[in-house]
Amino acid sequence: MRKAMSIAATGFRQMIVDPMYVVFTLAMPIVMTWAMSFLPDVDGVYEMASLGVLVMFVALNLITSASAVIEERRGGTWQRILQSPTPYTTIMVGHFIKLFAVAWLQALLLLASGKFLFGAPWNGGYGAMAAVMTVYIFAMTGLGLFLASVLKTPGQVQAVSTGFVMVGTMLGDIFFPMENPSLAISLISKLSPQSWAAHSLKDILTADAGLASQATPIAIMLSFGLVLFALGAHRISRMEG
């Protein structure tokens, strides 16, 4: 476990000292959360939009960060890692802890800025919120690892992840509430982890919904993450140069 924590700490430091990464991961989402506070003062609109920013940027951050495996593979670093005495499981645990830590830092900053700077009515339910966010982070990490295992370049991962996240967020009944959605839009909403996460977080943070009431979104996101994480980790373990 000590080796995994060392891998995670090294990766975490490398990410947070990158100015462009800090701008994209922290500054830009906070600015967008602030911009959402100018939306019409209609019940639930700002809350949903600010949570949409949260789930969107956490997903983009995790997916693109997980795709760093591609760069390591192209540079030959990943092959040396796999041939090292460090067990593959320890390596993957270290990568997961790194991604988990950065995603939680991002989520906490966005939730805090929404509440204390922009007046979002987060009234409690923080334990249930933590559970939902943890499952959502796991699901998006699984997607990132899976994409890193099947695509060839970081550019491909960025394009696919941006399309997936934007479609799931914009058409997932988050930024634009839909009263009579079409069959296609309803399907996207049901398949989008971002939609499940944002609606679940809104229910918890604004309506004090209990964790038991969120069993369905948690089960869906957890299943999504388990399948893709297992597939991605298995394929990455077999990567060759």
**pLDDT tens readout for residues 26-73:** 888 889 888 887 877 677 778 888 999 999 999 988 888 777 777 777
Q: Report yes or no: 11 and 93 within 8 Å, Cβ to Cβ.
A: no
Q: What is the pLDDT of residue 239?
A: 64
The DSSP code for 213 is G
DSSP string, 39-91: S---TTHHHHHHHHHHHHHHHHHHHHHHTHHHHHHHTTHHHHHHHSSS-HHHH
Whether pLDDT at 241 is above 50: no
**Can you give the pLDDT at residue 224?**
95
Q: 181 pLDDT band (50/70/90 cuts)?
A: confident
Give the residue, 237 or 225, on which the prediction is more confident: 225
The alpha carbons of the chain give a radius of gyration, in whole angstroms, of 18
Task: Pull the structure tokens for residue 208.
Answer: 């004090």
Helix axis angle, 88-116 relative to 2-16, nearest 10°? 50
Q: What are phi and psi of 70, to 5 degrees?
A: -65, -45
Query: What confidence score (pLDDT) does residue 86 get?
Result: 78
Q: How far apart are CA 217 and CA 200, in angstroms?
A: 7
Q: What is the pLDDT of residues 114-171, one digit of tens each?
A: 888 888 888 889 999 999 999 999 999 888 888 888 888 878 888 888 888 888 888 8
Q: Please report which helix (H) or strand (E) contains residue 107, including its range.
A: helix 88-116
Ranges of each domain in the chain:
2-237
Mean pLDDT of 220-236: 91
Rounded Cα distance, 117 and 29, in Å: 13
63 contacts 144 by C-beta, under 8 angstroms: yes
Model pLDDT for residues 63-85, shown as the tens digit of each residue: 887 777 777 777 777 677 667 77
pTM: 0.88
